[in-house]
């Protein structure tokens, strides 16, 4: 791939991610600059797969989504285990390998390294929306 293409893509994604649609107390902030090329490619493939089938990510991941309580305020958060996420991608033929992508895991993580092995469903849905809008 051409290295000159990446800055344009990331600028485009940042522009879409920075739109404040609503004023929540703790809005989800996405940092697309931490994603490498492979992670961006995986998210684009997943977004394209879901759009082609008119499917919502919650419908696609279905029973792999669990509600867990995190933090001192005992907030219930919808999560997916990393293994389940990559397994679903492999079963849908979006990805050939089960190998996890570290930058994608960091991007979709609940709170950085505090809760390893999980990704936040809301964060993933928002990221997929942003990527779908940018294409």
Mean pLDDT within 106-130: 85
* Confidence tier at 115 by pLDDT (50, 70, 90): confident
3-state helix, strand, coil in the chain (%, to 5): 50, 10, 35
Give percent of the chain with pLDDT exceeding 70: 79
Please tell me the distance from the alpha carbon of residue 116 to that of residue 119, in angstroms, as a whole number. 8
Residue 16's SS3 state is helix
Domain ranges of the chain: 5-134
Give the residue with greater pLDDT, 29 vs 51. Answer: 51
**What pLDDT does residue 33 have?**
81
pLDDT digits (tens, 9 = 90+) for 45-91: 999 999 999 999 999 999 999 998 877 777 888 999 999 999 999 99
Beta-carbon contacts of residue 62 (< 8 Å; ≥ 6 apart): none
Residue 59's SS3 state is helix
User: What integer best gives the mean pLDDT of the chain?
Assistant: 83
Among 108, 119, 109, smallest CA distance to 83 is for 119
| Cα-based distances in Å from 40 to 26, 69, 72 | 25, 29, 32
Q: Do 98 and 81 form a contact (C-beta atoms < 8 A)?
A: no
**What pLDDT does residue 70 have?**
77
Give the residue with greater pLDDT, 97 vs 33. Answer: 97
Give the residue with greater pLDDT, 13 vs 92. Answer: 92
| Cα-based distances in Å from 85 to 3, 47, 89, 110, 116 | 28, 14, 6, 14, 14
**What pLDDT does residue 41 have?**
93
């Amino acid at each position: 791939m051409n290295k000159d293409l990446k800055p344009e893509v990331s600028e485009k994604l940042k522009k879409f991610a920075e739109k404040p649609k609503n004023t929540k107390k703790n809005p989800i902030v996405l940092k697309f600059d931490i994603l490498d090329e492979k992670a961006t490619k995986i998210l684009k493939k997943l977004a394209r797969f879901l759009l082609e089938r008119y499917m919502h990510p919650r419908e696609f991941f279905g029973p792999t989504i669990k509600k867990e309580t995190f933090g001192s305020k005992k907030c219930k958060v919808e999560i997916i285990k990393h293994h389940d996420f990559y397994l679903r991608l492999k079963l849908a033929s979006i990805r050939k390998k089960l190998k996890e992508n570290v930058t994608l895991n960091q991007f979709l993580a609940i709170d950085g390294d505090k809760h390893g092995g999980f990704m936040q469903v809301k964060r993933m849905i928002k990221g997929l929306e942003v990527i779908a809008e940018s294409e």
